[in-house]
Amino acid sequence: MNVSPQPSASMKTWLIEWLGTELGVAPSTIDPAQTFLNFGLNSVQAMTMVGDLETKLGVRLSPTLAWDYPSIETLSAHLDDRITQTPETKAPAAPAAIRPDSSASDAAALLAELDMLSDQDVDSLLSQYLGESK
């Protein structure tokens, strides 16, 4: 699938609209500089967002994307950089030895482990990872 480069403003708009729909809030109330945690995004919603982004962009993305780039601004800038890279500057493809379904099973295993944690435990771990105190 060919994906045409999209400017960050377009990616920001998509993320704002996605978050508004997911959380049931007006997109106009969403500050792109705030962290996903500040909006109350939980781990399942974060994984859903990554999956929806993969579908939209036609590329594989890290399951930890929402934690690595914890705001709409940082995530849209990262995605803009990633999708506008020329083929010469893109990272090399994964080795052929990796099964095509390995990332799906890795994500499923991660979700299964997260399902065993309470929402409070997940929020606490995310806060620690992002350097925020609760």
CATH code for the domain in which residue 71 is found? 1.10.1200.10
DSSP code at position 87: T
pLDDT score for 84: 73
pLDDT digits (tens, 9 = 90+) for 8-43: 578 999 999 999 999 999 999 999 999 999 999 998
Residues 85-105 have a mean pLDDT of 47
Residue 48 lies in a domain: yes
User: Are the beta carbons of 76 and 32 closer than 8 angstroms?
Assistant: yes
Asked if residue 128 has pLDDT above 80, the reply is no
100 located within any domain: no
20 close to 27: Cβ distance less than 8 angstroms: yes
Distance CA 46, CA 75 (A): 12
Query: Is residue 42 in a domain?
Result: yes
Lowest model confidence (mean pLDDT) among 7-16, 89-98, 118-127: 89-98
Domain that holds residue 32: 8-91
In a domain, 104, yes or no: no
**81 part of a folded domain:** yes
Does residue 68 lie in a domain region? yes
Instruction: Say if pTM beats, i.e. exceeds, 0.95.
Output: no
User: How many domains does the structure of the chain reveal?
Assistant: 1
